[in-house]
């Protein structure tokens, strides 16, 4: 066991889990996110790292049935009361005054699932959107003109950890900065030893900045096989990812027919993956809504004002030369037309050069102790609304009077995200070394915004490619 393994296990005895590839083979054939897998591995692993595989398999069989399971038959024919741990989607039907639910992974459609009012009133989180939890289902047969349906009679949110944020912040002090960076990479389910340099590690960590900072908007272009889709689809239940297909105003912002909120208002962040394969039902309308939202944190659809703290990241592929550099000077030339307008692109805070990250290989797979993904995702969720970090960044930075406001906002917002991620223990400027802040927070933030500015300039020369000289305030 390495020194880092020992430190993780000692600092986070209840929140850590050992990740050994052979243990996770127990989930073969199950399409489960990492936070569910980690929960089960932790539950059925002893203090020495030995996994009770039979215990995991029995839990999977009893509580996480597959789509080809006879769930509907058990409910309808045998009138069983069935309890499962599952992902489900809640949808309000105002026209018929009903709260509906669907379980796509088990073949239950929203037209077949219903949540009674007393259950909804008891569980405030049962509102439009995607949830994970333990649900108890029963079948209600047809009565009069009412068709039969599956009823959700009990719900328990999937939150196996009660997060103590102060405990997490204090634990940071037990690690050096390089050790902490390696812990974070492990918590993303990767092996830090597989990276070439510190700068490459920091770039990899930049993928989860939107997990931790409200209203952070990023773009990443990378070749296939660098793991970007995996991170956004597996590490947090607080994000929503669309991979290809059609995006509508209703899906993203507000459905006027159903009078229901879209993804931007329901999640911590929204990921548009495989952006080159995404089509937009009304490009001009969505572009206008995005401009307003990305700038102000709100937009209006059909006289309904939609306010949110969700961040947005768009991800796509990019063509590279033999020396693994972009073939085109204009990085955004392969994006859909919706995202080629300079005014919209200027509202994105930073750009991640995904081609500088390693392709997924065997030596990048985690093998050792790390934070449980569910715990880690809850910590990032909790850190989002802590204003102390942005206050520290404001106090640390000196911004020229003529600095472009969007550049300033971008640099500060990215730097705040890095500060939360790398130095969560700090309470004021005296507790962060200024050189550390410059190296780990400020410089990467400026670099990421600089790429956005340079690329916009190539599209529209009205936009300057020069960044303001934002630096650390040296006066004590």
DSSP 438: I
In degrees and rounded to multiples of 5, residue 56 shows phi and psi of -65, -45
Does residue 139 sit within a domain?
A: yes
Cβ-contact 473, 395 below 8 angstroms: yes
Taking phi over 0 as left and psi of -120 to 50 as alpha, with beta for the rest, 97 belongs to left
Q: Are 221 and 275 in contact (CB under 8 A)?
A: no
Q: Determine the Cα–Cα distance for residues 159 and 378; give it in Å rounded to an integer.
A: 9
Report the largest interatomic distance among the alpha carbons of the chain, rounded to a whole angstrom.
Answer: 78
Helix (H) or strand (E) holding 342: helix 342-345
Residue numbers of the domain that contains 84: 71-157
For 46, the 3-state DSSP assignment is coil
Q: Evaluate whether 135 touches 84 at the Cβ level (below 8 Å).
A: yes
pLDDT at position 64 is 84
CB 410 within 8 A of CB 403: no
The answer for 156, left when phi > 0, alpha when psi is -120 to 50, beta otherwise, is beta
In a domain, 114, yes or no: yes
- How far apart (Å, rounded) are the C-alpha atoms in residues 282 and 291? 14
- CA dist., res. 96 & res. 250, Å (int): 19
CA distance 133 to 35: 12
Q: Any idea how long the chain is?
A: 476
User: Helix, strand or coil for residue 22?
Assistant: helix
CA dihedral 255, 256, 259, 262 (to 10 degrees): 20
CA atoms within a 13 Å half-sphere pointing along the CA-CB vector of 396:
27
**How many Cβ atoms sit within 10 Å of the Cβ of residue 307?**
11
Report the CATH number that the domain containing residue 132 is assigned in CATH. 2.40.50
Under 8 Å between Cβ of 411 and 445: yes
Backbone angles phi, psi at 403, to 5 degrees: -65, 140
**Residue 476: predicted pLDDT:** 52
pLDDT tens series, the chain, 476 aa:
799 999 999 999 989 988 888 888 899 878 888 888 888 888 898 877 789 999 999 988 888 877 666 888 889 988 999 999 998 999 988 888 999 999 988 889 999 999 999 999 999 889 888 888 999 999 999 988 889 999 999 999 887 777 899 999 999 999 999 999 999 999 999 999 999 999 999 999 999 999 999 999 999 999 888 888 889 988 988 999 998 889 999 889 988 887 788 899 999 999 999 999 998 888 889 999 999 999 999 999 988 999 999 999 999 999 999 998 999 999 999 898 889 999 999 999 999 999 999 988 888 989 899 999 989 999 999 999 999 999 999 999 999 999 999 999 999 999 999 999 999 999 999 999 999 999 999 999 999 999 999 999 999 999 999 999 999 987 65
Q: Would you state the pLDDT for residue 295? A: 96
What angle, 0 to 180 degrees and rounded to 10, lies between the N-to-C axes of helices 177-187 and 198-205?
50
| 115 is a domain residue | yes
d(CA 189, CA 172): 19
Secondary-structure breakdown of the chain: helix, strand, coil percentages, each rounded to the nearest 5: 45, 25, 35
Chain-centroid distance, C-alpha 259: 26
Give the per-residue SS3 of 358-400: CCCCHHHECCEEEECHHHHHHHHHHHCCCCHHHHHHHHHEECC
* Residues 103, 132 contacting (CB under 8 angstroms): no
Residue 90 placed within a domain:
yes
In a domain, 128, yes or no: yes
Q: How many domains does the chain have?
A: 1
CA distances from 305 to 22, 63, 297, 343 (A): 50, 40, 10, 22
Q: Is residue 345 part of a domain?
A: no
Q: pLDDT digit string (tens) for 231-284? A: 998 898 899 999 888 999 988 998 888 778 889 999 999 999 999 999 888 888
Provide the pairing of β-strand 311-316 with 269-280: parallel
**How far, in Å, are 6, 40, 47, 235 from residue 51 at the CA level?**
19, 10, 10, 22
Q: What is the rounded CA–CA span in Å between residue 285 and residue 218?
A: 21
What pairs with residue 351 in β-bridges?
219
338 is a domain residue? no
CB 232 within 8 A of CB 210: no
Report d(CA 343, CA 412) in Å as an integer: 20
In a domain, 347, yes or no: no
Closest CA to 423 of 399, 388, 449, 447: 388
Element (H, E) at 93: strand 82-93
């Amino acid at each position: 066991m390495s020194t880092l393994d020992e430190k993780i296990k000692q600092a986070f005895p209840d929140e850590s889990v050992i990740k050994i590839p052979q243990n996770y083979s127990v989930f073969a054939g199950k399409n489960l996110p990492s936070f569910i897998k980690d929960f089960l591995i932790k539950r059925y692993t002893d203090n020495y790292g030995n996994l009770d595989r039979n215990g995991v398999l029995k839990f999977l069989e009893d509580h996480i049935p597959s789509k080809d399971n006879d769930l509907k038959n058990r409910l309808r024919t045998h009138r069983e009361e069935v309890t499962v741990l599952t992902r489900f989607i809640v949808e309000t039907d105002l026209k018929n005054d009903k709260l509906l639910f669907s379980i796509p992974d088990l073949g239950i459609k929203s037209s077949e699932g219903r949540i009674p009012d007393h259950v909804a009133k008891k569980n405030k989180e049962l509102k439009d959107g995607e949830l994970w939890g333990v649900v108890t289902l029963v079948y209600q047969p047809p009565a009069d003109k009412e068709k039969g349906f599956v009823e959700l009679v009990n719900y328990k949110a999937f939150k196996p950890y009660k997060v103590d944020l102060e405990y997490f912040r204090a634990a940071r002090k037990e690690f050096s900065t390089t050790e902490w960076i390696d812990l974070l990479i492990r918590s993303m389910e990767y092996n830090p030893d597989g990276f070439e340099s510190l700068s490459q590690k920091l770039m990899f960590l930049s993928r989860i900045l939107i997990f931790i900072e409200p209203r952070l908007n990023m773009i990443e272009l990378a070749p296939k096989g660098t793991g970007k889709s995996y991170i956004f689809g597996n590490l947090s239940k607080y994000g929503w990812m669309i991979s290809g297909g059609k995006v509508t105003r209703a899906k993203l912002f507000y459905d006027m027919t159903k009078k229901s909120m879209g993804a931007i208002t329901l999640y911590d962040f929204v990921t548009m993956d495989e952006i080159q394969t995404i089509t937009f039902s009304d490009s001009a309308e969505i572009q206008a809504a995005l401009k307003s939202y990305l700038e102000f944190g709100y937009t209006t659809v059909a006289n309904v004002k939609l306010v949110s703290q969700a961040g947005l990241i768009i991800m796509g592929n990019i063509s590279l030369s033999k020396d693994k550099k972009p073939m085109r000077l204009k990085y955004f030339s392969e994006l859909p037309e919706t995202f080629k307008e300079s005014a919209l692109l200027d509202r994105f805070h930073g750009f991640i050069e995904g081609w500088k990250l390693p392709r997924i290989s065997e030596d990048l797979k985690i093998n050792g102790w790390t934070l449980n993904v569910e715990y880690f995702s809850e910590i990032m969720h909790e850190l989002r609304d802590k204003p102390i970090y942005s206050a520290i960044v404001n106090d640390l930075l000196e911004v020229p009077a003529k600095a472009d406001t969007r550049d300033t906002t971008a640099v500060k917002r990215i730097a705040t995200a890095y500060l939360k991620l790398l130095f969560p223990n700090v309470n004021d400027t005296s507790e962060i070394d200024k050189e550390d802040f410059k190296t780990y927070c400020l410089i990467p933030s400026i670099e990421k915004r600089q790429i956005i500015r340079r690329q916009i300039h190539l599209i529209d020369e009205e936009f300057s490619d020069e960044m303001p000289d934002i630096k650390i305030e040296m006066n004590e």
